[in-house]
Amino acid sequence: MAEKQKRAQKVYTLLVEVGRKDGDGLPKGSTGAGLLCYASGVDEAEAVRETVAILKQADMAPLDVTGYGTLEERLEQGDEIDPAERKLMQRALDENAVIVAQMTPFDD
Categorize the per-residue pLDDT at 100 as very low, low, confident or very high, splitting at 50, 70 and 90: very high
Distant-in-sequence, close-in-space partners of 82: CB < 8 Å, separation ≥ 6: none
pLDDT tens track for 34-84: 999 999 999 999 999 999 999 999 999 999 999 999 999 999 999 999 999
Within 1-108, residue ranges assigned H as helices are: 44-57, 71-76, 83-95
Report if pTM > 0.85: yes
Q: Does residue 2 have a pLDDT over 60? A: no
pLDDT > 90 fraction of the chain, expressed in percent and rounded = 91
End-to-end alpha-carbon separation of the chain, Å?
Answer: 58
CA atoms within 13 A on the CB side of 26: 25
